Amino acid sequence: MIRNSFFQKVGFLGLLCVLSPFANGSRANNEINTNYQTNLGVQTSPSLLPSKELLVGLEAYLGRGLLNNSHSKDLHLISAGKPLILRDASGLVHKSRQIQIEWITVPLKSPENLYRQVVGPFASYESAHTFSKKLNSAGISNVIAHPFEWEVWIPKDITLPPKIQADSFIKKNFDEVKPLLKLTTGEFLLSGPIEISSPDGLKWNGGLYKGPFVLKPDSYGSWTFIEKVSLEQYLLGVVPHEIGPSSPLSSKAAQAVLARTWAVANSSRFAIDGYHLCSDTQCQVYKDPDKADLEVQRAIRETSNKILTWKGEPIHAVYHATNGGIMASSNEAWDIEALPYLKANLDGSKRWIKKSSMPLNSNNALISFLSMRDGAYGNNHYLFRWTRKVHAKDLEDYLHSLEIRKEKPKKLKILERGPSGRVLALEIIDESNNSLVILRRDAIRRIIKSLPSTLFVIKELDKGVWQFQGGGFGHGAGMSQAGAIDLALRGWSTKRILQHYYPGTTYESLR
């Protein structure tokens, strides 16, 4: 059965959403009339401003395996020097250079009933956020959650417009997952939130993190290990890992401004789970801030407190590895509104602009464009141009993950391109010429994971074998990191690089 989804348009608000049952939940029925709550009542994350202290999730969903009767890995913390100090909510204090925490299920004093309406999953936070804003403008209360994929949760007693089909999630919890401190002298059940300080830092994932740290429950019955960092300290763990420590100074400074802007603008991304940002590619890559060299520190220091704004608000400061010689507009990358500073535009020298033309919304125009590279900014990136081969079996596996019926894909059809040539809608057709699914925008790369970007043409090589020829790595909107490095090597300043990729924005201090 094919569901209405973010691959296929539904009527209300022109949004793209899929309606799938929540894991471990069931559909509503008339026999249940108990009052239910929307989530697990986790305290939402505090405002980033004015303290400028970020709560960054280093590892999420701890203990989740127990919810599915499987194993959950322990949390093993190792000090880089002096003993770690653990304090839980009940007043327990423990000092040690190593702390071992396991997970167990504990019966609740009384069963906990959960009931909510779920719309999702969405291909990205940006798409979920657009849907959430539309609901807000219609006076419909909602929250954005990320239990497995991005979803929007709506209270059970709200009547939705007919064109929004939401699944009902109902669950009765009899147990909860709790952390258990393991010592040679015994085991101690901990109560959250749990604070952990590290006088000499914590060894974590091959790096050194200063902390302090907190271990707290999320909205899905599991727990998150979080580091508290200042906004500027956070950038030490982002800038070198996002753009590379060997990049020229002005490109690293541009990256610092964008990473700071992005963090401020997205600090409510995981509010429902009690922290601000994650540390992986769902947010910005954050790891081992101790590895930031003197030039990274200089790039951050020289742009201290600086962000990009549009009409006084932090911009949607997205960036990517390489755009293949042409920038994408915001609504080519995601199902969001058009943004005046994120427009489709050629990214190269005067020579590049002279020999290229826009729009690239035809197959032939894009084939010609992809045959060129000289004059484009950042054209030495290894994915500036690329080729991928996709088999019908690959597509079957992709579709199986979506619980779409198992007919074999026979044909791929590009239905729509944006002005930058990026594919906005890709249809997969079965052997009976029936449409299996229509993938849109960011959902294309979410489902066909081998594709570096949506800037491509397709050629059928054999029955059930297609060649994708394309350019760029990432969504293509905002700053191309390869392009910024190229421009920095040409002598461009930080401000000039930022103005090139985000025209009309203001470079100013965070207020």
Residue labelled with tokens 């249940």: 32
Helix (H) or strand (E) holding 482: helix 481-489
Separation CA 154–CA 36 (nearest Å): 12
Residue labelled with tokens 């600086």: 306
Residue 330 tokens read as: 């915001």
Separation CA 482–CA 382 (nearest Å): 10
Separation CA 1–CA 509 (nearest Å): 52
Q: Which pLDDT does position 226 carry in this prediction?
A: 98
**Residue 5 identity:** S
Question: How many Cβ atoms are within 10 Å of 39's Cβ, its own excluded?
Answer: 18
- Cβ distance 125 to 143 under 8 Å? no
Is the backbone peptide bond immediately before 212 cis, with ω within 30 degrees of 0? yes
| Edge-first strand listing for the sheet containing 435-440 | 409-417, 423-430, 435-440
- Cβ distance 113 to 172 under 8 Å? yes
Separation CA 195–CA 84 (nearest Å): 10
Half-sphere exposure in the Cβ direction for 97 (13 Å, CA): 4
Residue labelled with tokens 């939402």: 44
Q: Which pLDDT does position 45 carry in this prediction?
A: 65
Say whether 339 sits in a helix, a strand or coil.
coil
The whole-number mean pLDDT for each consecutive block of 10 residues of the chain, a chain of 511 residues, reads 33 32 30 41 61 91 91 94 97 96 95 92 90 94 94 94 91 94 93 95 95 96 96 96 94 98 95 94 92 95 97 96 98 92 97 94 94 97 97 86 73 96 95 90 91 97 95 97 98 98 97 81
For the chain, report the end-to-end CA distance as a whole number of angstroms. 51
Q: Work out the burial of residue 55: count CB atoms within 10 Å of its CB; fewer than 13 is exposed, 13-18 middle, 19 or more buried.
A: buried
**Residue 425 identity:** A
Q: How many Å is the Cα radius of gyration of the chain?
A: 24
Q: Which pLDDT does position 337 carry in this prediction?
A: 87
Residue 161 tokens read as: 């417009």
**Residue 239 identity:** V
Show the CA angle centred on residue 103, arms to residues 101 and 107, nearest 5°.
Answer: 135
Separation CA 501–CA 34 (nearest Å): 53
Backbone angles phi, psi at 338, to 5 degrees: -65, 135
Separation CA 3–CA 1 (nearest Å): 6
Whether the full predicted model's pTM is greater than 0.75, yes or no, is yes
Residue 259 tokens read as: 């990473």
Greatest alpha-carbon span in the chain: 75
Q: Which pLDDT does position 212 carry in this prediction?
A: 97
Q: Work out the burial of residue 246: count CB atoms within 10 Å of its CB; fewer than 13 is exposed, 13-18 middle, 19 or more buried.
A: exposed
Helix (H) or strand (E) holding 252: helix 249-265
Domain ranges of the chain: 1-230, 322-478
Residue 53 tokens read as: 């202290």
Segment 68-111, tens digit of pLDDT: 888 889 999 999 999 999 999 999 999 999 999 999 999 999 99
SS percent in the chain: helix, strand, coil, step 5: 20, 35, 45
Residue by residue, DSSP assigns 12-53 as GGG----B-PPTT-B---TT-----BSS--PPPPPPSTTTTE
Residue 496 tokens read as: 């000039």
DSSP one-letter code for 14: G
C-alpha to C-alpha distances, 355 to 60, 185, 359, 386, 407, nearest whole angstrom: 48, 74, 13, 21, 44
DSSP one-letter code for 64: G
Name residues whose C-beta falls within 8 Å of residue 41's C-beta, 6 or more positions apart in sequence: none
Task: Give the dihedral of Cα atoms 32, 35, 41, 47; nearest 10 deg.
Answer: 120
Separation CA 325–CA 482 (nearest Å): 10
Residue 363 tokens read as: 């197959």
In 321-387, alpha helices (H): 330-333, 350-355, 363-370
C-alpha to C-alpha distances, 19 to 131, 284, 401, 474, nearest whole angstrom: 13, 28, 15, 26
Half-sphere exposure in the Cβ direction for 57 (13 Å, CA): 29
In 275-425, alpha helices (H): 294-302, 330-333, 350-355, 363-370, 392-400
Q: Which pLDDT does position 43 carry in this prediction?
A: 60
Q: Which pLDDT does position 16 carry in this prediction?
A: 31
Residue labelled with tokens 């956020």: 129
